[in-house]
Structure 1
Amino acid sequence: MNQYGKHNTGKGDTWMGLRHQRTSDALGTAAAGGLTGFDVVSRKGKELTLADGSTCTEFVSCSYLGLESHPALILAAREALERIGIHLSASRGAMSPVYLRQLEQLLSEIYDGASVTVFTSTSNAHLGVLPLLGSGVMEGYPVRDKGVMWLVDRTAHASMQVLRGVLEQFGPVCRVDTADIDAVEEVLRGCDQQGVTPVLLIDGVGSMSGLLPVARLSERLRTHGGYLYVDDAHGISITGRHGAGYAFENLGHRLPANTLIAGSLSKAFGGAGGFIVLRPGYDARQLQALANPLVFGHSIAVPMLAANVAAAQIHLSSDIHTLQQRLWRNVRRLDESVAQPMMNADLCAPIRGALFASERQGVTAAQGLRTAGLVMFPVFYPIVESGKAMLRCAVSAAHTPAQIDTLALQLNQHLNAQAV
């Protein structure tokens, strides 16, 4: 115990120390072998030209609708660059590009009149909103006198998991498994007995997992006087009316008073940044005055803000439905063509994963794909179980049927090879 009354902690006892001990050099090996970490020189659709002069079809980008190359977004970014420049080097309270207010108004339309505030990233939305919610002073989001208890789902994104030290300033943190609803219910009853407000943090569409029952969990939290906080970064745009996303669609396109949704503008939306969806009527000036990333950080770069506005306008048009249909046709085509079920197979999620029994087999498969002119992202511990490997595949509306078929053929060969 040190002079501050705390136990000394060895380097290996921290979460980062433990990760360091358990992480192999497989990812480094993959990068050294030219299987990831590419420098991209140019792009046409899903075809990349790399710094070494080679070309490949990528299944890595999380821009699931292909909007990042849409002519309307490119034109909007170019015009904004000429009008204002690259960025306004000031916090939002001092000044901001006109596109920021336009974007928030359009996002409010997408979310049926809810209050929407834009951040530079989804991670910064978490960092700005969760301390305010946990403090009990967030307008319209009261907590019990004894404070909050944070319930962090085991599959919640790392951008929330890593905030444990921040969250513990406002209440204890408990890791839960929402797949075991009875265990979650027991924890919620414990919160009732202790007189604390439960706040459950989850992903909507997991980056490496399936879909969570957002509406069901929201109702569970409501009956216990708690809040549901959903990171739906991977669910935004790919489904739902106006591309509002998986979580909002699962809620019946209505935001319950006890539910908050954090979203991304950097994935299927086509632009850059993040946002928070709060109950209709919430006075966003409170966030602008108290959320650290808004008070002390800059706004999104001007060309990207203008591109976000153009993307939001597409979301409010019929074009978004056409793009969503194209995405899900490609996802179904891949599911039907790969002989062995992949991670998320048959789910309304654009991410698939081919699991390999060892890191060596995963690296070998990635090498085979690269030789065939295909790139998937190889992942290892801590993303998957120690010693195993997964090739992570992001499907897009921009992929052609021929590209999907080529990937399926290659995956079948490598998945069958490990079964021999």
Structure 2
Amino acid sequence: MSNSLKQRLLDRARNRRDSETPAAGAEAAPRVSERFTRFDLQPGYQQLQMMRSSGERLGIDDPFFRVHESSGGATTVIDGRECINFASYNYLGLVHHPQVIRAGIEALERYGSSVSASRPVSGERPIHQALESAIAECYASEAALVFVSGHATNVSTIGYLLGPRDLILHDEYIHNSTLVGAQLSGARRMSFTHNDPQALEALLERHRGQFERVLIVIEGLYSMDGDAPALERFVALKQRYSSWLMVDEAHSFGVLGESGRGIGEMSGVATQDVDIWMGTLSKSLAGCGGYITGCRALVDTLRYFAPGFLYSVGMPAQVAAPSLAALQIMRAEPERVTRLHHISRYFAERARAKGWNTGDSIGAAIVPVIVGSSAKAARASARLLEAGINVQPILHPAVPEKSARLRFFFSCEHTEAQIDTTLEALDRVL
């Protein structure tokens, strides 16, 4: 072999080796399993596919994301057919009230479809201030603040107020938004047995001295079971152990109390005895978003520093205005709350008389019928829809399998005749 040919072969081998060797300072790309890069292999999607396959084997249609072709109240339209509806949080029947609709239209025409910026920058409108003043007045508190999302209200408030040296104690059935807020805060988190002040006191006695701030979070009305806490006992504990108490009134405001002012009114507890009142605008108040109300120092702090408010676009005027109108109607027409209480109890009492398990529901807007298995609940929901009755099943893992249920939400617009029709259909189905 000539020297020139030998040199050419050596050069070719060296070039091949160099192309296969990482450059100086670079590392070879790691080998990563497809299960970490493909969305269809992620645990959530795998679980969803398993649920869908189980439903197909049992002959059960997906009960979720049913398309409603009208406003949801005591009735709704699904697949072109009017149904009796028990799957709406429209407790006071105000979503389609002419005064509420008109308020939204007038705000849209005056302020446009978006405030286009965060409220501290250039998104503040008079309607925001009017709504917050009305909420604060309703609670007899110093100030209030509205957020564009109910979920973000809890996440941002709890996430900002607490830190790693603090402790959050919450009911074991607390809403996901509180859990996410607690994770964001970095605070230590512990749950206590549902609606059990003694279990809470045991935690306070053991841990209060180890933390700077302690926040206790409960709900005014629990949406899975329709039960309520003994608020006065939780107030006594927060005072005894120098803690903050936060009450999530997403489902209790507009529902509990003689005039719908919530669990404080029902319990006879002064609003000032609760440090943080939270609620949503999407249920009784016929809008979208959430609110915090309490002392001015709390609200001013959140107004200037809570990320979910400070860095978010302001609530559209046509969303704020209907909620303000709904609040005004609620206060002017307390008979709506009275009718809601009556129709809820009417269903609950007759369901229990038939031997159905309604859990610990107090018979105010939310009454579950616990059937004991996810398959049975989903099948019952499908058969009721065939009969012209829309009620959603609550399945595992949202609740334990043995606690799978049909969950009935009531509106003041439901009639006794609609309840009787529903009870007869339930008899056939169950």
Q: What range is the shorter-chain TM-score in? A: 0.7 to 0.9
**Equivalent residue for 1:172?**
188
Q: Which runs of 5+ in 2 are unaligned?
A: 1-34, 37-41
Counterparts of 2:196 and 2:183, CA distance in 1? 25
Equivalent pairs counted in the alignment come to: 385
- Do the aligned partners of residues 388 and 237 (structure 1) sit closer, same or farther apart at CA in structure 2, a change above 3 Å counting? closer
Whether the 8 Å contact between 1:236 and 1:268 is mirrored in structure 2 is: yes
The structure 2 residue matched to 1:316, chosen from 304, 324, 331, is 331
In structure 1, the partner of 2:314 is: 299
Equivalent residues in 2 for 1:265-280, closer than 5 Å: 265-279=281-295
What residue in structure 1 maps to residue 65 of structure 2? 37
Residue number in structure 2 paired with 1:220: 237
CA deviation profile, 1:50-79 (whole Å, cap 9, x unmatched): 3x3233221000111111111110111111
1:138 corresponds to which residue? none
- Shift of the 25–77 alpha-carbon distance from structure 1 to 2, 3 Å rule, reads same
Correspondence 1:335 to 2:352: no
Which letter maps to 2:76? L
Q: 1:358 — aligned with what?
A: 373
Q: Quote how far apart the aligned CAs of 1:291 are.
A: 0.6
The residue correspondences of 1:10-409 to structure 2 (distance < 5 A) are 25=51, 29=55, 33=61, 35-43=63-71, 46-50=74-78, 52-94=79-121, 95-135=123-163, 147-167=165-185, 169=186, 171-209=187-225, 210-240=227-257, 242-247=259-264, 249-256=266-273, 259-279=275-295, 281-282=296-297, 284-317=299-332, 319=333, 321-338=334-351, 339-344=354-359, 347-386=362-401, 389-409=404-424
When structure 1 is superposed on structure 2, of 355-364 and 343-352 the one drifting more is: 343-352
Aligned mates of 1:19, 1:153 — CA distance in 2:
29
3-state SS of paired residue (2:400): coil
SS in 1 for 2:199: helix
The unaligned stretches of length 5 or more in structure 1 are 1-9, 136-145, 416-420
Confirm or deny: 8 A CA contact 1:149 1:199 kept in the other structure. Answer: yes
Tell me how far apart the structure 2 counterparts of residues 20 and 166 of structure 1 sit (CA, whole Å).
27
Query: Which AA in structure 2 matches 1:353?
Result: P
CA distance in 2, matches of 1:201, 1:17: 30
CA deviation profile, 1:352-405 (whole Å, cap 9, x unmatched) = 111122222222211221111001011111222136531111011011221111
> What is the DSSP-based 3-state SS (H/G/I as helix, E as strand, rest coil) of the residue aligned with 2:146?
strand
Q: Is the 8 A contact 1:24 1:381 kept in 2?
A: no
After the TM superposition, which of the residue ranges 308-317 and 228-237 deviates more from structure 2? 308-317
* 1:152 alignment partner, SS class: strand
3-state DSSP class of the match of 2:69?
strand
Quote the residue 2:20 is aligned against.
none
CA contact (8 A) 1:22 1:386 kept: no
Paired residues of 1:110 and 1:243 also in contact (CA < 8 A): no
Q: How far apart, CA to CA, are the structure 2 residues paired with 1:316 and 1:159?
A: 28
Residues 145, 299 of structure 2: 8 Å contact kept: yes
Q: Does the aligned pair in 2 maintain the 1:60–1:375 contact within 8 Å?
A: yes
| Inter-partner Cα distance in structure 2 for 1:185 and 1:128 | 27
- Using the TM superposition, give the Cα deviation of residue 329 of structure 1 relative to its aligned residue in structure 2, in angstroms: 1.2
Shift of 1:115: 1.8
The separation in 2 between residues aligned to 1:19 and 1:227, in whole angstroms, is 39
Residues 1:283 and 1:252: Cα distance change in structure 2 (over 3 Å): closer
SS at match of 2:133: helix
Q: What's the offset of the Cα at 1:22?
A: 10
RMSD: 2.8
For residues 374 and 114 of structure 2, what CA distance do their matches in structure 1 show? 43
Query: CA, structure 1 residues 347+49, in 2 after alignment: closer, same or farther (shift >3 Å)?
Result: same
What one-letter code is carried by the residue in structure 2 that aligns with 1:40? Answer: H
Q: Which fold has the larger relative contact order, with Cα–Cα distance below 8 Å and residues 6 or more apart in sequence?
A: 1
Counterparts in 2 of 1:92 and 1:165: CA distance versus 1, 3 Å: same
The one-letter code sitting in structure 2 at the alignment partner of 1:295 is L
Residues 158-211 of structure 1, C-alpha deviation per residue, up to 9 Å, x if partnerless?
1112334213x2x21112214443332221112234254321122120011321
Give per-residue Cα distances to partners, 1:117-154, cap 9 Å, x unaligned: 1111222221222133214xxxxxxxxxx932111220
Q: Percent identity?
A: 26
* Distance across 1 between alignment mates of 2:48 and 2:313: 37
Which structure has the larger Rg? 2
Distance 2:360 2:233 in 1: 22
Q: What's the CA shift string for 1:192-241, capped at 9, x where partnerless?
A: 34254321122120011321122211210110111111111000111336
